[in-house]
């Protein structure tokens, strides 16, 4: 059977597999599915439609589409047009979207029918993309980058993390994620997040089949594993909590016999939750990955290793990591906390390029703001982040953006957003808002004000109104003190 060697153009993947296994389903989402032949011919039509709409080699094409067969068709159409796919959430607010589009300057924006963007220059509905276009083969093209995911950024402004790898196959993703050729994979999260995108596409590059959940449902995750003989599944700990919360009789309906690997990442996994999954499915099937979208370095960890190093995220699997103290001095003793700095293995190419930001660099090593310690066996343990980023259900949320929206209210003098423990999502957003007592503001006034200004996942779950300054005598906001005063142990 065909398997691409490293460096094979991504634009040629559908055609190569269509020639051998054309009637096999390559992707399913909801009630829809695509065979390899349908993916190949459909992405040819879509690629011509993108080119007609203005797509060009090495230009970003923004895809405002949910998990769907159309999304996969359009991603491969980008590769065939020589463009760089950038998947964004269709639920972004206009302000958030405009900020990213300004940075990326996409040649085309593909969106859902009926979107408010239709009529805007460069915007096209996905249903119209291939209309009247030929499905004949195209000349191979290779963009200089195969993906362009986005991140919020600690300043509240977004950034684009342009992959340093061209649009060709590489053993990197399949090796770090343990994906095998011909795998049946289940992707439970939206592809506008980097890990679901990378793993779904890597499965397809290896001739496998991908099932995309259009929305997460705990029992549907289990039933899909049995229905499609899933071998490999991606989860975040919030999803793991919800599956664990199912009644025993519901979980026991599904054998999960086909399941080889369960991978989790994106947020810390509580030790009690990890133990339950190991007890349920066996240590050999539970895997964890720690890395940034930048992919300079990372750690992986199997369940049996975790049992010997409880709380660890693993040892460095690729690239290099080291810890620096507050003065920038390398920490060499085990179990001493410091800031985590990473770099690619010397002599290898850069793995990313920022648009809209500059990396935090020290002597050629870069930091994502994470703190941690390394034990005597080389296992990394994460602590608090140096930055104030909050992870809610596996999604990075930056307080600066929410606070900026809050202080636009005429009666808000200061606002501080912190993360508090939550048994479901790991952390919940809590806004502390300073308003004059005489203004008579109530929490519902603040909620109504934020509605439409921020995406739903960025809306504070709780709002606390105070009538005294949130700043100390030095004029500083002490987030850690505010958090410690309010934090409680999460319930389960």
Is 457 found in the same domain as 361?
Answer: no
Is 395 found in the same domain as 358?
Answer: no
Nearest to 431 by CA among 406, 401, 397: 406
In a domain, 3, yes or no: no
Residue where a domain stops, chosen among 381, 411, 438: 381
Is 422 found in the same domain as 310?
Answer: no
Which whole number is the average pLDDT over 115-124? 90
What's this model's pTM, rounded to 2 decimal places?
0.85
Is 358 found in the same domain as 420?
Answer: no
- Report pLDDT for 488: 59
| 82-91, 127-136, 151-160, 265-274: the lowest-pLDDT one | 151-160
For residue 456, the enclosing domain spans 390-486
Residue 394, sorted as left (phi over 0), alpha (psi -120 to 50) or beta, turns out to be: left
Q: Which pLDDT band holds residue 472 (cuts at 50, 70, 90)?
A: low
* Per-residue model confidence as pLDDT tens digits over 324-363: 998 999 999 999 989 999 999 999 999 999 999 999 999 9
Cα distance between residue 246 and residue 344, in whole Å: 42
- Report pLDDT for 74: 98
Q: Which pLDDT band holds residue 266 (cuts at 50, 70, 90)?
A: confident
| 142-156, 233-247, 447-461: the lowest-pLDDT one | 142-156
Is 315 found in the same domain as 201?
Answer: yes
Which whole number is the average pLDDT over 448-459? 92
Give the CA-trace dihedral at 72, 231, 149, 47, to 10 degrees: -20
* Per-residue model confidence as pLDDT tens digits over 418-431: 999 988 888 999 99
Is 164 found in the same domain as 293?
Answer: yes
Give the CA-trace dihedral at 47, 149, 4, 298, to 10 degrees: 180
In a domain, 211, yes or no: yes
- State yes or no: pLDDT of 107 exceeds 60: yes
- State yes or no: pLDDT of 489 exceeds 70: no
Residue where a domain stops, chosen among 381, 401, 420: 381
- Report pLDDT for 473: 47
* Per-residue model confidence as pLDDT tens digits over 321-332: 999 998 999 999
Residue where a domain stops, chosen among 342, 360, 381: 381
Report how many domains make up the chain. Answer: 2
């Amino acid at each position: 059977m065909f398997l691409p060697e490293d460096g094979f153009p991504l634009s040629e993947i559908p055609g190569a597999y269509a020639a051998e296994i054309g009637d096999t389903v390559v992707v399913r989402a909801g009630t829809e599915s695509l065979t390899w032949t349908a993916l190949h011919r459909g992405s040819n039509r879509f690629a011509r439609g993108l080119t007609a709409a203005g797509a060009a080699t090495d230009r970003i094409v923004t895809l405002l589409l949910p998990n769907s067969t159309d999304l996969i068709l359009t991603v491969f159409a980008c590769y065939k047009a020589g463009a760089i796919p950038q998947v964004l959430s269709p639920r972004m607010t206009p302000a958030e979207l405009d900020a990213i589009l300004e940075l990326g300057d996409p040649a085309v924006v593909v969106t859902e029918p009926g979107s408010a963007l239709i009529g805007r220059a460069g915007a096209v509905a996905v249903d119209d993309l291939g209309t009247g276009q030929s499905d004949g083969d195209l000349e191979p093209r290779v963009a200089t980058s195969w993906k362009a995911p986005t991140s919020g950024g600690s300043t509240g402004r977004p950034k684009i993390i342009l992959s340093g790898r061209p649009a060709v196959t590489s053993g990197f993703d399949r090796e770090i994620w343990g994906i095998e050729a011909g795998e049946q994979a289940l992707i439970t999260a939206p592809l506008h997040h980097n890990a679901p995108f990378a793993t779904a596409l890597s499965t397809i590059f290896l001739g496998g089949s991908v099932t995309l959940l259009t929305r997460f449902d705990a029992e549907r995750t289990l039933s899909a594993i049995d229905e499609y003989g899933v071998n490999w599944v991606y989860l975040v700990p919030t999803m793991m909590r919800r599956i664990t919360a199912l009644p025993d009789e519901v979980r026991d309906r599904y054998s999960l016999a086909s399941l080889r690997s369960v991978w989790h990442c994106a947020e810390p996994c509580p030790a009690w939750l990890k133990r339950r999954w190991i007890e349920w499915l066996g240590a050999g099937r539970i895997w964890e990955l720690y890395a940034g979208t930048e992919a300079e370095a990372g750690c992986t960890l199997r369940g049996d290793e975790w049992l010997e190093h409880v709380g660890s995220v693993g040892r460095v699997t690729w690239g290099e990591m080291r810890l620096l103290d507050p003065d920038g001095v390398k920490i060499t003793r085990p179990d001493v906390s410091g800031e985590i700095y990473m770099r690619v293995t010397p002599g290898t190419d850069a793995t990313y390029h920022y648009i809209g930001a500059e990396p935090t660099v020290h002597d050629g090593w870069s930091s994502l703001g994470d703190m941690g310690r390394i034990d005597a066996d080389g296992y990394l343990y994460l602590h608090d982040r140096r930055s104030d980023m909050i992870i809610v259900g596996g999604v990075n949320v930056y307080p600066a953006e929410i606070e900026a929206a809050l202080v636009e209210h005429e009666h808000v003098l200061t606002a501080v957003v912190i993360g508090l423990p939550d048994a479901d999502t790991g952390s919940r957003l809590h806004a502390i808002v300073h308003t004059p007592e005489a203004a008579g503001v109530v929490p519902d006034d603040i909620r109504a004000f934020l509605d439409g200004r921020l995406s739903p996942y960025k809306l504070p779950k709780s709002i606390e109104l105070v009538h005294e300054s949130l700043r100390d005598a030095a004029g500083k906001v002490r987030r850690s003190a505010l958090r410690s005063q309010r934090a409680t142990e999460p319930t389960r």
